């Protein structure tokens, strides 16, 4: 493990026993680690984090320590292995809980309890522990046992039904959508609970429902149904109070830019940039309602212009004129985007098995305690010796004995 | 009227002045759910974004926006023109007694008024100022106009969704502002924790573009490692350079979410489906012959996958969403409904968990049922305790705290300050 930067970070001194796996949980604890918390990630050789098993692998060579699917979400963490099913694991885990301020997990409800690690169990070891569980639908209720993965939670919450064209049915809402919104709800609650503990001395159990988090992202539509009986509909790229409002084809292979015009000022600016002053007097387009009525024709005309240029040629012109516009970035553009570069969104760390690998900053920057990545995601069990003997103070003989008995598998 | 939205919230006593428009509404709402004392400050006449629908009973009225209701619950509301001299004075007085300001103006706007972080920290060194903007407070795009369409594109998400080979498609309900708002909430509370250690507040600079980037999943790393750009697959998801698996399937009354898996997941989550299909006489021999535990879907072509998926599609069309979900629960399949709003509102599990919360709207003469807390806490509340404020609803209460009486208020009203 690289040494932590000596600058003060927001969560200095916070200690986290991290049982999370997959995406939403690891992003949560990674954000804590980014801001200075010490996070020990617990895996087992028999049951490593599933993210380790699929790619993209460095050089296309599969390997448990070689995938960005794992590294991206686990920087700054110590990695240990522990076979929780081993009879001698209980004593080890007791030490770990005694060390920790926070226990985080996102298993199917009941999994932690089966290992003797329910909140009730934990407070017997550490009365002021803050524990967070992040399951699909919370710990209780008839569907609590339903396994939750991002695409399914996007489906259950209604978010998946919002992506696509009106005449096709929904398009796949890319990725594991809800996995990226859940961590922020988790962080707000968890860090507020830690702060609360500083003043009251009391711990907390947080039973987070990933579905309930996701529903915060479409609440107005749910109220619309409940109050007006109107269900959501796919709108393609159209927006009720803007036109043109479309993703337009640009010059080149699969290149696109967004243009959104909400008012007459922006409309005039767009016409000036395009060099089509005639459109300003055209009765088909002179007001927002007329532009909405003739939107398809308008889209064809605008696209006849955009298609002549690469997005990076016209987006700066449109923006300089005050028209909301943007390139639909892909591939190398993630790394070349001037604004993302300016914010140092990507940073690179040298991983022992796969070398330089990118890590991504959160969407916010703190002016006083900026946070940073300083250590790449751990190889499986990489920090066993350090964590068990140094952090938890286990005598060397005991460590060797337990190692030989397979407790750390 | 009680001061805190929630009397036993983790954030009780944490006062937030919320200057945001719809770009940042959700941030203060999330803090309010945990008990923060959030005061929404609107310009006289109300927040411009109150004009955005949907509206209660479709009545276009700034006091009836469901969009406003949803993201401003748990806040109290005052009006104040921070552009006037007197308005600035009053704002500064409020800042002296507050913990946090959330704002979503163009970068530099508050500085121009003398109300930026560098000024406010002199007044109150403990203040946390959280700024939510399309691209952040500095950098080449600092002054760029943001809109959901543009920011989702520039955050790399839009290019990933849509029909194969066709125009990328957005999510029909604006998401970038919500992504940034919850990042802002996390940043604010981390800054609050730091304040307990270092004794002073800080500036939290949130970029919508960067917030969106996380949702692109591994797209940047797929380029970095393999020089691969994920291709749009309509309702299907790309599983290898040559193959897409179907994720959204038509059934009798809508869509369900399900994906073919191989290996351990395949034998656990797909094999039971084939058994179920077989019970109904709908599993062809080639499907029954598959050894799911050794199947590697990354080695299959789209044609191979279509051969597997075709009989499954036929089976799903024989059933309703509810039948498929119930049957899947029994067999522990990774299948769920692609819910409509109706499905979410009528979800029996959410009902059984008493998730929905009845919130009184006396001005409408009724209660409205809201999604409840995103978490259940052992020793604190996470819930909606009050509906969103009407325009200037709490002017008297809040301004009384800084020594203004009703006469002062009517003077300020005439001067256009409140």
Residue B412, pLDDT score: 95
As given in the structure block, the two tokens for residue A6 are 């000596």
Q: What is the mean pLDDT of chain B?
A: 96
Residue B241, pLDDT score: 84
Nearest to B183 among A175, A209, A364 (CB): A364
Helix axes B271-279, B302-317, angle to 10 degrees: 50
Q: What is the pLDDT of residues B213-262, one digit of tens each?
A: 999 999 999 999 999 999 999 999 999 888 999 999 999 999 999 999 99
CB contact at 8 A, B192 and B198: no
- Residue B4 maps to a domain: no
Instruction: Please provide the DSSP assignment of A230-268 as one string.
Output: PPP---TT-BTTBSSEEEEE-SSTT-EEEEE--SHHHHH
Residues B303 and B376 in one domain: no
Task: Identify all chain B residues contacting A329, using CB atoms and an 8 Å cutoff.
Answer: 153-156, 159
Residue B6, pLDDT score: 57
Residue B1, pLDDT score: 40
Residues B68 and B208 in one domain: yes
Beta-carbon count within 10 A of A397 CB: 8
Which of B345, B366, B396 finishes a domain? B345
Task: Identify all chain B residues contacting A155, using CB atoms and an 8 Å cutoff.
Answer: 248, 256-257, 336-339
In chain A, residues 213-232 whose CB comes closer than 8 Å to chain B? 213, 215-228, 230-232
- Residue B219 maps to a domain: no
Q: What is the pLDDT of residues B128-153, one digit of tens each?
A: 999 999 999 999 999 999 999 999 99
As given in the structure block, the two tokens for residue A69 are 């699917």
Residues B23 and B129 in one domain: yes
Helix axes B25-33, B176-198, angle to 10 degrees: 50
As given in the structure block, the two tokens for residue B191 are 């800054």
Q: Do A185 and B149 touch (CB under 8 A)?
A: no
From residue B81, alpha-carbon distances to A14, B84, B392, B414 in Å are 41, 6, 12, 12
Q: In angstroms, what separates the C-alpha of A328 from chain B's closest C-alpha?
A: 4
Give CATH for domain A245-335. 3.30.1540.10
Q: How many residues does chain B have?
A: 418
Q: Do A212 and B56 touch (CB under 8 A)?
A: no
ipTM entry: 0.98
In angstroms, the CA A408 to CA A88 distance is 10
How many H-runs (helices) and E-runs (strands) does chain A carry?
Answer: 18, 14
SS3 state of residue B100: strand
Helix axes B321-331, B271-279, angle to 10 degrees: 120
Q: Do B375 and A180 touch (CB under 8 A)?
A: no
Q: Do B186 and A31 touch (CB under 8 A)?
A: yes
The nearest alpha carbon in chain B to A205 belongs to: B378
Task: Identify all chain A residues contacting B8, using CB atoms and an 8 Å cutoff.
Answer: none
- Residue B204 maps to a domain: yes
Q: What is the pLDDT of residues B43-84, one digit of tens each?
A: 999 999 999 999 999 999 999 999 999 999 999 999 999 999
Q: What is the mean pLDDT of residues A79-88?
A: 97
Sheet of B336-337, strands arranged across: B248-251, B254-257, B336-337
Number of domains in chain B: 2
Q: Which of A138-147, A192-201, B195-204 is least confident? A: A138-147
Q: What is the pLDDT of residues A185-220, one digit of tens each?
A: 999 999 999 999 999 999 999 999 999 999 999 999
Q: In angstroms, what separates the C-alpha of A221 from chain B's closest C-alpha?
A: 7
In angstroms, the CA B344 to CA B347 distance is 5
CB contact at 8 A, A236 and A166: yes
Q: Do A174 and B56 touch (CB under 8 A)?
A: no
Nearest to B147 among A152, A217, A260 (CB): A260
What residues form DSSP beta bridges with A81? A43
The nearest alpha carbon in chain A to B152 belongs to: A328
Whether A351 and chain B come into contact, CB under 8 Å, resolves to no
Interface test with B, best of A13, A103, A219, A270 (most B CBs within 10 A): A219
CB contact at 8 A, A148 and A210: yes
The nearest alpha carbon in chain A to B178 belongs to: A217
Q: Which residues of B323-335 are buried (b: 16+ CB within 10 A; e: fewer)?
A: ebbebbeeeebbb
Q: Do A137 and B353 touch (CB under 8 A)?
A: yes
Whether residue B2 has pLDDT greater than 50: no
Task: Identify all chain B residues contacting A331, using CB atoms and an 8 Å cutoff.
Answer: 223, 227, 229
The nearest alpha carbon in chain B to A225 belongs to: B341
CB contact at 8 A, A252 and A310: yes
Predicted structure pTM score: 0.97
Residues B60 and B207 in one domain: yes
Which of B326, B345, B364 finishes a domain? B345
The count of C-alpha atoms lying within 13 angstroms of the C-alpha of A274, restricted to the half-sphere facing its C-beta, is: 21
What residues form DSSP beta bridges with B37? B15
- Residue B234 maps to a domain: no
Residues B24 and B137 in one domain: yes
Residues B168 and B39 in one domain: yes
Q: Which residues contact B203 (CB under 8 A, 6 or more apart)?
A: A366, A367, A368, B117, B128, B129, B130, B131, B137
Residues B141 and B193 in one domain: yes
The CATH number covering residue B315 comes to 3.30.1540.10
Domain boundaries, chain A: 15-217+343-404, 245-335
The nearest alpha carbon in chain A to B350 belongs to: A141
Q: Is B303 exposed, middle or buried (0-12, 13-18, 19+ CB in 10 A)?
A: exposed
Q: Do B223 and A366 touch (CB under 8 A)?
A: no
Cα angle A278, A249, A272 (rounded to 5 degrees) comes to: 25
In angstroms, the CA B128 to CA B131 distance is 10
- Residue B380 maps to a domain: yes
In angstroms, the CA B380 to CA B191 distance is 21
Q: Which residues contact A99 (CB under 8 A, 6 or more apart)?
A: A15, A17, A391, A392
In angstroms, the CA B125 to CA B95 distance is 10
Q: Is B1 exposed, middle or buried (0-12, 13-18, 19+ CB in 10 A)?
A: exposed
Residue A5, pLDDT score: 56
- Residue B220 maps to a domain: no
Residues B36 and B163 in one domain: yes
- Residue B237 maps to a domain: no
Q: What is the pLDDT of residues A325-366, one digit of tens each?
A: 999 999 999 999 999 999 999 999 999 999 999 999 999 999
From residue A284, alpha-carbon distances to A32, A281, A294, B227 in Å are 54, 9, 6, 44
Q: What is the mean pLDDT of residues A296-312?
A: 98
In terms of residue numbers, what domain contains B131?
Answer: 15-214+354-414
From residue A183, alpha-carbon distances to A24, A208, B26, B215, B356 in Å are 6, 10, 15, 12, 22
Closest to B212 in 3D by CA, of A329, A116, A4: A329
A2: pLDDT confidence band, cut at 50, 70 and 90? low
Whether A19 and chain B come into contact, CB under 8 Å, resolves to no
In chain A, residues 178-207 whose CB comes closer than 8 Å to chain B? 180-181, 183-185, 187-189, 191-196, 198, 202-207
In angstroms, the CA B250 to CA B163 distance is 16
Q: What is the mean pLDDT of chain A?
A: 96
Q: Beta strands A164-165 and A169-170: pairing type?
A: antiparallel
Whether residue B162 has pLDDT greater than 90: yes
**So which residues of A are the catalytic ones?**
179
| First-residue to last-residue Cα distance in chain B | 21
Q: Cα B16 to chain center, whole Å?
A: 19
Listed in sequence order, the DSSP H helices in B158-262 are: 176-198, 208-213, 219-226
Q: Do B193 and A204 touch (CB under 8 A)?
A: no
A277: pLDDT confidence band, cut at 50, 70 and 90? confident
SS3 state of residue B37: strand
What residues form DSSP beta bridges with A356? A350
In angstroms, the CA A319 to CA B161 distance is 24
CATH topology of domain A15-217+343-404: Rossmann fold (3.40.50)
Whether A7 and chain B come into contact, CB under 8 Å, resolves to no
Residues B210 and B358 in one domain: yes
Residues B294 and B320 in one domain: yes
Q: Beta strands A164-165 and A77-81: pairing type?
A: unpaired
From residue A249, alpha-carbon distances to A234, A304, A327 in Å are 21, 9, 10
- Residue B367 maps to a domain: yes
Q: In angstroms, what separates the C-alpha of A228 from chain B's closest C-alpha?
A: 6
Task: Look up residue A361 and give its DSSP letter.
Answer: -
Whether A164 and chain B come into contact, CB under 8 Å, resolves to yes
Task: Look up residue A266 and give its DSSP letter.
Answer: H
Q: Beta strands A38-43 and A77-81: pairing type?
A: parallel
Whether residue B270 has pLDDT greater than 90: yes
Cα torsion A192, A196, A201, A207 to 10°: value is: -40
The nearest alpha carbon in chain B to A57 belongs to: B225
> What is the percentage of chain A residues whose pLDDT exceeds 70?
99
A63: pLDDT confidence band, cut at 50, 70 and 90? very high
Q: Beta strands A38-43 and A130-135: pairing type?
A: unpaired
Whether residue B4 has pLDDT greater than 60: no
H or E element at residue A99: helix A89-99
Residues B28 and B176 in one domain: yes
Residues B326 and B404 in one domain: no
Q: Do A175 and B216 touch (CB under 8 A)?
A: yes
From residue A404, alpha-carbon distances to A94, A354, A386, A399, A401 in Å are 20, 29, 17, 9, 5
Q: What are phi and psi of A219, to 5 degrees?
A: -55, -45
Q: Which residue has the tokens 């240029």?
A: A309
Cα angle A68, A69, A74 (rounded to 5 degrees) comes to: 85
Q: Which residue has the tokens 């203004």?
A: B404
In angstroms, the CA A186 to CA B71 distance is 18
Contacts A–B by Cβ distance under 8 A: 488
The CATH number covering residue B38 comes to 3.40.50.10540
Q: Do B145 and A324 touch (CB under 8 A)?
A: yes
Instruction: Please provide the DSSP assignment of B259-276 as one string.
Output: ----HHHHHHHTHHHHHH
């Amino acid at each position: 493990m690289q040494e932590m930067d000596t600058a003060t970070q927001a969560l200095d001194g916070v200690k986290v026993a991290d049982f999370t796996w997959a995406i939403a949980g690891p992003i949560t604890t990674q954000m804590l680690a980014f801001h200075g918390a010490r996070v020990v990630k617990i895996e087992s050789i028999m049951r490593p984090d599933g993210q380790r098993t699929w790619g993209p692998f460095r050089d296309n060579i599969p390997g448990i320590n070689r995938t960005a699917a794992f590294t991206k979400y686990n920087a700054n963490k110590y990695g240990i292995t522990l076979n929780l099913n081993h009879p001698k694991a209980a004593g080890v885990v007791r030490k770990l809980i005694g060390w920790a301020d926070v226990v985080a997990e996102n298993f199917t409800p009941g999994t932690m309890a089966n290992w003797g690690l329910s909140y009730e169990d934990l407070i017997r070891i550490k009365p002021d522990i803050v524990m967070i569980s992040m399951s699909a639908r919370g710990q209780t209720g008839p569907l609590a046992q339903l396994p939750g993965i991002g695409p399914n939670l996007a489906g259950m919450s209604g978010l998946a039904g919002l992506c696509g064209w009106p005449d096709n049915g929904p398009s796949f809402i890319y990725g594991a959508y809800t996995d990226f919104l859940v961590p922020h709800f988790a962080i707000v609650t968890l860090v507020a609970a830690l702060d609360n503990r500083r003043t009251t001395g009391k711990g907390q159990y947080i039973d987070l429902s990933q579905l309930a988090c996701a529903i915060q992202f479409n609440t107005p539509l749910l109220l619309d149904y409940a109050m007006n009986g109107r269900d959501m509909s796919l709108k393609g790229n159209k927006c009720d109070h803007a036109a043109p409002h479309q993703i337009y084809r640009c010059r080149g292979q699969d290149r696109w830019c967004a243009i959104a015009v909400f008012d007459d000022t922006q409309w005039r600016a767009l016409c000036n940039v395009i060099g089509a002053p005639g459109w300003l007097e055209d009765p088909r387009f002179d007001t927002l309602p007329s532009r909405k009525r003739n939107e398809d024709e308008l889209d064809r005309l605008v696209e006849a212009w955009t298609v002549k240029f690469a997005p990076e040629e016209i987006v700066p012109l449109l923006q300089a004129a005050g028209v909301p516009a943007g390139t639909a970035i892909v591939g190398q553009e993630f790394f070349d985007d001037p604004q993302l570069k300016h914010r140092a969104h990507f940073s690179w760390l040298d991983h022992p098995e796969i070398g330089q690998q990118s890590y991504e900053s959160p969407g916010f920057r703190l002016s006083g305690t900026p946070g940073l990545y300083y250590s790449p995601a751990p190889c499986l069990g990489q920090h066993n010796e350090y964590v068990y003997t140094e952090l938890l103070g286990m005598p060397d003989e005991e460590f060797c004995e337990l190692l030989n008995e397979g407790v750390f598998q | 009227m009680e001061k805190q939205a929630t009397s036993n919230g983790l954030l009780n006593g944490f006062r937030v002045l919320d200057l945001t428009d719809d770009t940042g509404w959700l941030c203060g709402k999330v803090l309010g759910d945990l008990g923060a004392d959030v005061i929404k400050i609107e310009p006289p006449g109300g927040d411009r974004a109150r004009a955005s629908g949907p509206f209660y009973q479709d009545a276009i009225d700034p006091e009836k926006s469901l969009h406003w209701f949803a993201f401003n619950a748990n806040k109290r509301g005052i009006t104040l023109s921070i552009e006037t001299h007197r308005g600035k004075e009053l704002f500064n007085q409020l800042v002296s007694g507050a913990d946090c300001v959330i704002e979503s103006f163009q970068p530099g706007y508050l500085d121009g008024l003398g109300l930026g972080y560098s000024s406010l920290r002199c007044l109150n060194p403990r203040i946390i100022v959280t700024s939510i903007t399309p691209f952040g407070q500095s950098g080449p795009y600092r002054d760029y106009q943001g809109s959901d369409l543009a920011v989702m594109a520039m955050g790399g998400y839009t290019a990933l969704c849509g029909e194969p080979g066709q125009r990328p498609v957005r999510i029909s309900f604006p998401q970038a502002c919500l992504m940034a708002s919850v990042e802002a909430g996390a940043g604010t509370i981390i800054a609050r924790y730091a304040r307990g250690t270092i004794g002073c507040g800080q500036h939290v600079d949130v970029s919508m573009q960067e917030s969106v980037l996380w949702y692109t999943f591994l797209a940047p790393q797929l380029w970095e490692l393999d020089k691969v750009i994920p291709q749009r697959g309509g309702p299907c998801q790309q599983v290898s350079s040559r193959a897409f698996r179907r994720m959204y399937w038509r059934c009798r009354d809508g869509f369900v979410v399900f994906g073919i898996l191989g290996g351990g997941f395949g034998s656990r989550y797909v094999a039971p489906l084939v058994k179920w299909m077989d019970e109904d006489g709908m599993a062809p021999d080639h499907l029954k012959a598959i050894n799911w535990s050794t199947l590697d879907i990354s080695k299959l072509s789209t044609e191979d996958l279509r051969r597997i998926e075709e009989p499954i599609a036929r089976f799903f069309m024989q059933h309703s969403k509810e039948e498929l979900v119930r049957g899947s629960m029994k067999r522990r399949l990774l299948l769920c409904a692609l819910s409509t709003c109706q499905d979410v509102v009528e979800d029996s599990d959410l009902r059984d968990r008493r998730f929905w919360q009845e919130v009184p709207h006396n001005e409408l003469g009724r209660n409205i049922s809201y999604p409840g807390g995103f978490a259940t806490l052992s020793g604190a509340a996470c819930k909606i305790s009050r509906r969103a404020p009407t325009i200037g609803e709490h002017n008297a209460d809040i301004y009384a705290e800084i020594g203004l009486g009703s006469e002062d208020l009517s003077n300020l009203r005439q001067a256009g300050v409140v």
